[in-house]
Amino acid sequence: MRPWPGTPYPLGATYDGVGTNFTLFSEVAEYVELCLFDDDGQETRVRLPEVDGFVHHGYLLGIGPGQKYGYRVHGPYDPEQGLRCNPNKLLIDPYAKAITGEVKWHESLFGYPFGEPDQRNDQDSAGHVPLSVVVSPFFDWANDRPPKTPYNESVIYETHVRGLTMQHPEVPERLRGTYAGLAHPVIIEHLQKLGVTAVELMPVHQFVTDHGLVEKGLRNYWGYNTIGFFAPHEAYAALPESAGQVQEFKGMVRALHEAGIEVILDVVYNHTAEGNHLGPTLSMRGIDNQAYYRLVDDEPKYYMDYTGTGNSMNVRSPHTLQLIMDSLRYWVTEMRVDGFRFDLAATLAREFYDVDRLSTFFDLVQQDPVVSQVKLIAEPWDVGPGGYQVGNFPPLWTEWNGKYRDTVRDFWRGEPATLGEFASRLTGSSDLYQEDGRRPFASINFVTAHDGFTLNDLVSYNDKHNLANGEEGRDGADDNRSWNCGVEGPTDDPEVNDLRERQRRNLLATLLLSQGVPMLLHGDEIGRTQLGNNNAYCQDNELSWVDWTLAEKNRDLLEFTAALTAFRKQHPVLRRRRFFQGRPIRRGDELRDIAWFTPSGQEMTEQNWGDGFGRCLVVFLNGEGIPDLDQRGMRVLDDSFLIAFNAHHEEIAITLPDEGYGPQWTVVIDTATGQVTQPELGEPIPAGGTLPLVARSLVVLQRTGVA
């Protein structure tokens, strides 16, 4: 087989309808062999004939979609100096659009302690490592259009392709756990009922289950162990033959877009599955180790580890930055996703040692005409020094607001001295996002996420119960800010169960009534439990999968959640584009856009905010004070509301504000009863009147009686 020279760009394997152009970057390689595999696993090697700018390339006529391939890189091997080229290692193309097969763990795959001989002569074959696959770029997108939902109108649903559908009785068994399963009409109908505008999918880039989990009989369920930044995970495809996962993923995106639902990917560009110096050589390590990974300055060249996984990507390298940016653009332009959530994003800001808010990566994103136009969400921390960076990302970015999560949890479990911070989190966290020009929607608000307790477990367990993970309970966070309501785990005590149901409603209502972008964790709307496991990363089983029988058992919770999202959508004062100012909305008018009250109906004072034992407060939201314009340039108007919070363990009678704020009010949301109603169905309460607020509950009152 005689290759033509081909072209050095684009990187990866590119099919043009006649043949395929293969390219691979390696600054250290002496030469590169392309390895082609037939259906029987027989290998044919072809040396790439040309090198331009350290890109090795060649074109093969007649090679098309479905062709399996890999690379063998010939070059220097000196691990103590950070050089790890080894032609005995069969390597995955970093730009592979599809990857097939799993790692079959074998002694030859592993690295060895520095100073000990490496078994370099044991050749990897197609049976040991996954293979890259040439894909067809052609797909019928029909009339697909991205929903482009504004941030302030978004409701995000964090979910898992496999876990969401594995136990759904109405999804055909062959489609469960797949992209096609997630696109099934019954799943889309559920998302639409919930008012979800975007699914945030846990990692779908091709990933690896590491050797330690395989030895324990477990699997990497979450997927934060990427080996292919362009390839949809093969195991999530119903029909993966001939790289069918690419077509199936695109079909899922098309179906969700048709339903008005955006697709956001949780992406892991901070590290790869190759681990530390003892880990396997699967791809980039054997291609150009120094270019792709951060290495220590001293010898031997260990890997810098800001992620807790063994290595960190070298974002100081232009070729690594190119890889990341090419990947992001590919998923937007070719796979048509609508945004990204960046795992451990602080690592991407480490150009030298400290987290650098103005690092090159963020500069590249800012100026990129494609990537800068989609939703960009940072997980604003890593495990390195100074890694907690909530509020410190550039203006283009939004952030998972960990301070929101912690504050809301503390308030409802009755921790002291949280009133002031609770008020800040409820109104969009202006202390974190206002000074650099960002808006309330820079805050992605969440109470629960994949990492930690589910909503049900948050109110059912004080302690983690992770023994099923095989790490003797050492894994997972110890500080969960949870409260079991008096009994650890499941109970038949009706009072405890009633309190837990109320606390679940309190947390959901707070989330969906807060300024910012709410994010729900899949299954929380039906009371999903992991039996107290707060780190189910390796539980690819019923413990982590959504149990859809709960949808009927906890129908009231599902209906309550759906009613909350509908209420939020109906009222723009709950999803403002700008922060509250605490000032009158018109000259000569004393009524401000927001006001805070004590249970006695008096405006909060500095002393009240500093009350370490405050458990109850009331906030007035002025619907006439929304500083937003609609699509026609008209001023946005809404009803006005009072929201009353009581985190105390006893009932508190609250006094409504004087008639300057409204002549009368009607309860429209009550977490004590789980009711969300229209104001005309309730009994009006006059200004200055009293309302008993049930222990640990929340009510929303709508202003009525205004002409």
The DSSP 8-state label assigned to residue 698 in this structure reads: E
User: Measuring CA to CA, which residue among 428, 445, 401, 422 is closest to residue 156?
Assistant: 445
Checking phi first, is residue 550 left (phi over 0); if not, alpha (psi -120 to 50) or beta? alpha
Q: Which of 507, 398, 394 is nearest to 444 (CA)?
A: 398
Among the options 210, 379, 399, 593, which is catalytic? 379
Q: Are 157 and 192 in contact (CB under 8 A)?
A: no
**Other beta carbons less than 10 A from residue 627's beta carbon:** 14
Distance CA 501, CA 121 (A): 61
Provide the β-strand partners of residue 459. none
Q: How far apart are CA 625 and CA 584, in angstroms?
A: 8
- Hey, what are 532's tokens? 């107290």
φ and ψ at residue 441, rounded to 5 degrees: -75, 0
Rounded Cα distance between 283 and 304, Å, is 18
Q: Give the SS3 label for residue 65.
A: coil
> Could you tell me which of 516, 497, 620, 513 has the C-alpha nearest to residue 561?
513
**Distance between CA atoms of residues 310 and 314, nearest Å:** 13
Radius of gyration of the chain (CA): 27
Q: Which of 289, 382, 366 is nearest to 325 (CA)?
A: 366
End-to-end alpha carbon distance in the chain: 83
Percent of the chain as helix, strand, coil, to the nearest 5:
25, 20, 55
Distances (CA, A) of 693 to 110, 599, 651, 658: 62, 10, 6, 18
Task: Say how far apart CA 214 and CA 332 lie, in whole Å.
Answer: 33
Token pair in block for residue 499: 């309190």
Q: Please pick, among 124, 234, 305, 343, the residue that the annotation labels catalytic.
A: 343
Per the CB < 8 A criterion, the answer to whether 94 and 229 are in contact is yes
**Buried residues in 63-86 as b, exposed as e (16+ CB within 10 A):** bbbbbbbbbbbebebebeebbbbb
Give the whole-angstrom CA distance, residue 225 versus residue 218.
14
Question: In the annotation, is 379 catalytic?
Answer: yes
Q: Pick from 414, 409, 109: which is nearest to 278 by CA?
A: 109
Catalytic residue numbers, as ranges: 343, 379
